[in-house]
Structure 1
């Protein structure tokens, strides 16, 4: 499939890996694809997103706020009466401040970083979007269409947190390409 990617779309996959490393994530998810689309800058995907008001900086900030599994576990524990703040206070009283914090010198992942199942699905959907539009290549616009077609995952949450819908993105891509939007 990657042989059908334009140079800009290939660059997005490389930048997605760089974004995952920068954020010290051990996976490449839909949020990293979104950040990479924005960081790539001059592709249709980035032009559409920035034209709709979503910048790399804004998306990066939102990715930092996206709930992680540990956050959701903390909420679940609170519902059964376990107060993690109280536990942290007791542990820090016994072992010192920051005893439960992750080491700050943790290095970015090295070597191959795998795509999550959601990111793989977005890549597959980008191919389907290219075929739907009767294109022989997969460009950044197809990657973005795949992301919104999936409609789930952290990347799409960032888009919706920015006040955008999948239809907004599709409409803007169609306008940008000079085509009517038929999804």
Structure 2
């Protein structure tokens, strides 16, 4: 699949990792793909985001704000005697790091490898976004939603009868997933998945 990605689309995938690192997040989510796409305003998809006033920086700030709201929710639960950190610690002690971040079907039955990219995973033969062994900052894993968005970018391209995957297809893939954290970011930026998708498709429509 990766060979279908344009240079700009590949830069979005790489940029999403940088966005997650810069925000000190442990995994790459659809919101990081969105921020990386917004950092390509000259590309289809990125241009639609720019037209709506969504830049990489405003996207980052919305992601930070959403994270602060999540922390406020956690504090509210602590006031009720529910400590999410303690719950996470117990879950990870019992089931391994990131246990609360994994869906039940994210591991296979032969040793818990990530189906989408880890050693022995069902799709490890084609999943292209694995870490290279370099001295760069450690590789961050993609969330299952981010993986679905990248897979969805291929479906979006095929639906448009296009043989390559561009930034616009990644954005459409992100919108199709509808990850709640990314929806929250979009609403903070003054739009929502439906409106952004409609605007993007309108921008991609050939001029009469």
| TM-score band, normalised by shorter chain | 0.7 to 0.9
Picking from 177, 185, 190, the partner of 1:163 is: 190
Quote the residue 1:31 is aligned against.
31
> Under a length normalisation based on structure 1, what TM-score does the superposition of the two structures give?
0.75
* Bigger CA radius of gyration: 1
Aligned residues: 154
Quote the residue 2:121 is aligned against.
none
> Under a length normalisation based on structure 2, what TM-score does the superposition of the two structures give?
0.67
Relative to its length, the structure with more helix (as a share) is 1
Q: 1:141 to 1:81 in 2, by over 3 A?
A: closer
Unaligned runs of 5+ in 1: 83-108
Pairing 1:1-183 to 2, within 5 Å after superposition = 1-67=1-67, 70-80=71-81, 110-179=137-206
For residues 86-138 of structure 1, give each alpha carbon's deviation from its aligned partner in whole angstroms, at most 9, with x where no partner exists. xxxxxxxxxxxxxxxxxxxxxxx922211111111111111111111111111
Separation in 2 of the partners of 1:67 and 1:111? 22
Q: 1:14 to 1:76 in 2, by over 3 A?
A: same
For residues 136-182 of structure 1, give each alpha carbon's deviation from its aligned partner in whole angstroms, at most 9, with x where no partner exists. 111111111111111123223211222212222222222221259xx
SS for the counterpart of 2:200 is: helix
Q: Which runs of 4+ in 1 moved over 6 A?
A: none
Separation in 2 of the partners of 1:156 and 1:2? 26
For residues 50-86 of structure 1, give each alpha carbon's deviation from its aligned partner in whole angstroms, at most 9, with x where no partner exists. 111212221111111113765433221223499xxxx
SS for the counterpart of 1:136 is: coil
Q: 1:179 to 1:152 in 2, by over 3 A?
A: farther
Quote the residue 1:94 is aligned against.
none
Separation in 2 of the partners of 1:71 and 1:137? 42
Whether the 8 Å contact between 2:41 and 2:49 is mirrored in structure 1 is no
User: Which gives a bigger RCO, structure 1 or 2 (Cα 8 Å, sep 6+)?
Assistant: 1
Quote the residue 1:105 is aligned against.
none
RMSD after superposition: 2.3
